[in-house]
Structure 1
Amino acid sequence: MIDHTGIGVADIRRSALFYDAALGALGWRRVRQMPDDVGTDGIAYGVDHPIFWIDRFHPHSVRQHTAFAASSRSQVDAFHAAALAAGGTDNGRPGLRWPNYYAAFVLDPDGNNMEAIFRGD
């Protein structure tokens, strides 16, 4: 089981706008920042504790893939719409990929492939 993970980003403020919107659509929020007063070095997202970090310490623009669990198809749709409105690039509109695998894909400002997925009917 993974406790938390993260990626490097080129511009933390620009990426924070993207992730605030995209992950906010999934019910996540900023739960920690480094340093605590500004958040220019790293920002963690989750519900109660850090699950996904963006930071300036790790390599950026290496085209990583991360899939976030959604609680419904409509939440996948909301993730996709919010991510595009926040500057993301469509990389796969919401839709059924396999039986019980409804997903959408968006490239973040650094070209990372972010996915929201709902496994269910």
Structure 2
Amino acid sequence: MIDHTGVIVSQFDVSKTFYQSAFAAIGYSLICEFPASVTGHTDVAGFGENGKPDFWISRGTPNHPPIHVAFRVESRAMVDAFYKAAIAAGGRDHGTPGLRPHYHPDYYGAFVLDPDGHNIEAVCHLPE
């Protein structure tokens, strides 16, 4: 089971703002941040829910090729809200909300590229 994951971002503050806005729609928030003086390496910010960060951004040279991370949500409305919030926060469309029946009949997802081109997805696996 995965405990946490993350991406490296080139503009830490821009990406932090992007993720705060996009994640608010799915119940995630910024839980903690640590500057390079604490980590000994770089600035980091952790996002998650219930006080547990499980998605981290780190200042640095972005991963290339970019990373794909999908967040499972409880409803198709949350997928729609994520997409709308992420686009409003400066994300780029990489797949509008909708069914992807080639994965399975109830796969409803939306894909957005973050400021560094990482493919961030919200997905609901439940029927309407």
Q: Give the structure-1-normalised TM-score.
A: 0.92
Alignment match, 2:14: 14
Larger Rg: 2
Rounded to whole Å, the distance in 2 between the matches of 1:119 and 1:66 is: 16
Runs of 4+ aligned structure 1 residues displaced above 2 Å come to none
Deviation of the 1:17 alpha carbon: 1.1
Alignment match, 1:41: 43
1:100 and 2:102 equivalent?
no
Rounded to whole Å, the distance in 1 between the matches of 2:75 and 2:63 is: 30
Check whether the contact 1:69–1:116 (CA below 8 A) recurs between aligned residues.
Answer: yes
Structure 2 residue corresponding to 1:77, chosen from 80, 88, 92:
80
Rounded to whole Å, the distance in 2 between the matches of 1:13 and 1:3 is: 24
Deviation of the 1:61 alpha carbon: 4.6
Alignment match, 2:29: 29
- Once superposed, what is the RMSD of the aligned Cα atoms? 1.5
Deviation of the 1:31 alpha carbon: 0.8
Q: Which runs of 5+ in 2 are unaligned?
A: 37-41
Rounded to whole Å, the distance in 2 between the matches of 1:85 and 1:61 is: 24
Check whether the contact 1:4–1:52 (CA below 8 A) recurs between aligned residues.
Answer: yes
Rounded to whole Å, the distance in 1 between the matches of 2:63 and 2:90 is: 16
Q: Which runs of 5+ in 1 are unaligned?
A: none
Deviation of the 1:35 alpha carbon: 2.7
Check whether the contact 2:7–2:63 (CA below 8 A) recurs between aligned residues.
Answer: no
Q: Look up the equivalent residue of 1:105 and give its one-letter code.
A: F
Q: Give the structure-2-normalised TM-score.
A: 0.87
Give the total of aligned pairs.
117
Check whether the contact 1:67–1:114 (CA below 8 A) recurs between aligned residues.
Answer: yes
Deviation of the 1:100 alpha carbon: 1.1
Alignment match, 2:121: 115
1:82 aligns to what SS in structure 2?
A: helix
2:53 aligns to what SS in structure 1?
A: coil
Alignment match, 1:50: 53
Identity of aligned residues (%): 49
